[in-house]
Structure 1
Amino acid sequence: MTPTVLVTYGTKNGSTAHIAESIAGTLREHGLTVETMRASVVPFVTRYDAVVVGGGLYAGRWHKDARAFVRRHRHDLAQRPVWFFSSGPLDASASERDIPPVRGVRRAMQEMHARGHTTFGGCLDDDADGWLARRILHSGSGGDFRDFEAVAAWASGIAAELKN
């Protein structure tokens, strides 16, 4: 039987959603059944064999929807394989070294017995919403630092674990 995987995410400007869709695409290429949706609208996780949860990083914290999703479904998440990803550094650091999860994600990983976590570079472009985003862009620190080859490689590792 082919595992069914939920890839869910919390995002403000859509960068994390694009990463989640890329993860889902790679999992599908490996023959898995995948659903992707915003963390704020997931009603339950019991129909999924595995879950990948992602959150954009804002001021050292995961997006509020990703945090709320994990709290709301913590008991069911602990009963299935789960992986976490973060997105956000607006520089090349995520491609150059392993960035550990922020404190709240680290705690959730321990509680859920998560199988893994990775941090991907983020993206902040000219159409981003919010006062802080505009300030970051004005300072010249915006840009697209997502590495979709790294995203595909990470998702391929998840697929390999699920198919064993």
Structure 2
Amino acid sequence: MTSKRVLVAYGSRHGATAGIAEEIGRSLRADGLDADVVAADTVTDVSGYDGVVLGGALYAGHWNGKARRCARRNAEQLRKRPVWLFSSGPVDSSAERHDIPPVRGVDRQMRRLHAREHVTFGGSVTAATPGRFARAMVRHGKGGDFRNPERIQSWAHRIGTELTTTR
């Protein structure tokens, strides 16, 4: 029996969301799935996958454009398979304290793609993050890495279980 193939695609500006996608991919592989982790702007065909996880960074309440365009470009095929969405962004512990509902644009994608679930993970803005805005946040004590690997792994394992127990 061949293992199920899962695509983990992400839209990331500075790498924090890519890191979440990599963690999801590692967890799915640990569950025996064949997981490919790729940038959302490179995805042109999802037909070879049994499931898709698509994530994007949040900036000012909007999902990363690369993730949005990936969803739009592949919508017909995405509707034919299990899809999970994630966002990353809050640069505080709010994603740990309570579920954060998807922003309006992501909610629209969820309905359009018939996505099974959406989760928001904490983001990361550190001294290594490029850009004037990031430097100002860190300088004013508003930065940090709020990604929680255990929470990411737990969510990915739920996806892995769902994919391996369904026909």
Q: Counterpart of 2:128 in structure 1: which amino acid?
A: D
Provide the residue aligned with 1:47 in structure 2. Answer: 48
Aligned residues: 164
Q: Scaled by the length of structure 2, what TM-score is found? A: 0.95
Structure 1: 5+ residue runs without aligned partners? Answer: none
Report if the CA contact (8 A) 2:44-2:74 is conserved: no
Shift of 1:104: 0.5
Give a deviation string over 1:17-48, Cα, whole Å, max 9, x none: 11000000000000001101000111211111
> Hey, which bits of structure 1, 4+ residues long, moved more than 6 A?
none
Provide the residue aligned with 2:76 in structure 1. Answer: 75
Q: Percent identity?
A: 49
Q: Scaled by the length of structure 1, what TM-score is found? A: 0.97
Provide the residue aligned with 1:85 in structure 2. Answer: 86
> Are positions 1:148 and 2:149 aligned together?
yes
Q: After superposition, where does 1:1-164 map in structure 2 within 5 Å?
A: 1-164=2-165
Structure 2: 5+ residue runs without aligned partners? Answer: none
Q: Secondary structure at the match of 2:161?
A: helix
Q: State the Cα RMSD in Å.
A: 0.9
